[in-house]
Chain A
Amino acid sequence: MTALEAVLVFAGIPLAVVLIVVGLVYGPSTGSKSRRYRPGRPFTFTPVWFLARPEEMSLASAGTDMAPASVKALSSGATAHAEDQELTGLVSATVKGGASGSW
Chain B
Amino acid sequence: MAAGELAVREETHAAPSAARPDVLDGPFTTRQLLRIDEALRLAERTAETLTFSVYVGPLHEPTTGAARKLHDQLPSPADSVLIAVSPEQRKLEIVTGTQAVKLIPDRSAALAALSMTAAFGGGDLAGGIVTGLRMLADQAS
Inter-subunit contact A74/B68 (CB<8 Å): no
Interface size class of B (residues with CB under 8 A): 35 or more
Which residues of A lie under 8 Å from residue B122 when comparing CB positions?
A: 39
8 Å CB contacts to B: which residues of A35-58?
Answer: 35-39, 42-57
Contact of A51 among B11, B25, B114 (CB under 8 A): B11
Tell me which of A3-11, A17-25, A91-99 binds B. A91-99
Interface size class of A (residues with CB under 8 A): 35 or more
What is the 8 Å Cβ interface bit string for chain A, positions 59-79, against chain B (1 contact, 0 not)? Answer: 111000011011101111110
**A→B interface (CB under 8 Å):** 35-39, 42-57, 59-61, 66-67, 69-71, 73-78, 82-83, 85-87, 89-91, 93-103
Residues of B within 8 A of A (CB): 1-12, 22-23, 25-29, 36-37, 40-41, 43-44, 51-58, 60-77, 87-98, 100-101, 104-106, 109-110, 112-114, 116-118, 120-123, 125
